[in-house]
Amino acid sequence: MTEEVLSRRADELKDLLEKYDYKGYDPFDILNSPFLSSVSRNYYFNLVINKFGSRVASDNLRKLLRVPLIEDPKIYTCSYFAYKLLEDKDPYNSKLMINRLVGLTKQSNYGTYWGYDYTWPTIYDGTNRKGNSTLVPSSFAMFALSYDFTLTQNNKLLNILDSTLAYFIKEHYCFNDRGYFLGYFSHSKVNTHNANLLGCAALSIASVITGTNTHLNKISKCALTSLKLIDRNGFLSYNDHSRGNWTDAYHHLYIIGSLYIIKSFNDKVDKELYEEKILQLSEYYRDNFLLKGNLLNYFPNTFYPIDCHNYAAAIIFSVLFQNKIFADSIDIYQLFLNIDKITWNKKKKRYLHKVHKMRKDKRFFLRWNQSWMFLAIAVLMKKDKIMDTFH
């Protein structure tokens, strides 16, 4: 029964991604409207409009405002790994995703980077203009290119990784009173911990692949700044801004997964300290996010909103790290069936954005929900293949 549902959903999501040519709306894209993008460059105006777009603005309103569908490195990266797992003899789709990622690269005098295709005003860290370098989508792209290079030995990918490594070490190497960190944006003054550690993980892998080991000390120094702020209970805030003292389930998992990767690839780090912090973080996750009946909280001890992105991350990380995070206290197949039952839109053949206590958010965000679930389903379907390959 479960295998049948997984196979059907994989086909339906593949069809969905192909139908939209891997382009879609994003929670933060509202300022791409031609009616809004030129109205004001005022930070506060843009911040309010952006929050409205991410939390309220419907798909129909986006269409009315002529918000265009956009490409995103995360869509291509999630789809790439899903296709690598699901493909048999035909490698076309995974190659297409790599080519799309390469096509999205941006060049500067200092190297290569990726960004979001929208202007993003944030509460914590000012505004990042459309297309400017952004650490998280760049890290996702680097994961895909790094893995594909190990399979293909394509020197074009190696050159891009080397160029991206040089760019982020120079342009995103930031400092505040807590220490050094990789900035979410090149101008960051606030350390967003999950982004810093995700970037450190991606750059550690790129350093090993390109043989550029001279950057590993800087990377380990950036990671250590966030590592030291993990408290004894295993809590690490979203960022070090006064309003950033919170976390949620999937960002917490990003942190754990990133530490596993850094520990494995960066020989300049204290591996015992990393292991200690990973155990603390994992215990915090089990205590605050896991629920009986194979359900997950969104915030610590807070069930709503229900978000399939949250469940997808749990499935993926559980398999990649042999369930060490969950200590065998969760059935990931039942976890999938639960979220599928709650958030699958039978009429539209796609997943809902979020389910709140009193309402369903049916908005269609390709990056946030569909591409993540596509990868999670592929991971479940090919769990044994992953275990044989990585363990």
pTM for this model (two decimals): 0.95
Position with higher pLDDT, 314 vs 386? 314
Predicted pLDDT at 1: 67
Residue 278 binned pLDDT confidence (cut-offs 50, 70, 90): very high
Is 327's pLDDT higher than 80? no
Is 388's pLDDT higher than 90? no
Mean pLDDT of all residues belonging to the chain? 94
Is 391's pLDDT higher than 90? no
Predicted pLDDT at 43: 87
Find the DSSP H helices in the chain.
2-19, 43-55, 59-64, 73-86, 92-104, 135-152, 155-171, 193-210, 216-227, 249-265, 271-288, 308-320, 332-343, 371-381, 383-390
Phi, psi of 231 (to 5 degrees): -80, 175
| Cβ neighbours of 15 (radius 10 Å) | 11
Q: Where are the domains of the chain?
A: 30-69, 105-288
Q: What is the assigned CATH class of domain 105-288?
A: mainly alpha
Predicted pLDDT at 42: 83
Position with higher pLDDT, 242 vs 322? 242
Tens digit of each residue's pLDDT (9 = 90 or more) over 146-191? 999 999 999 999 999 999 999 999 999 999 999 999 999 999 999 9
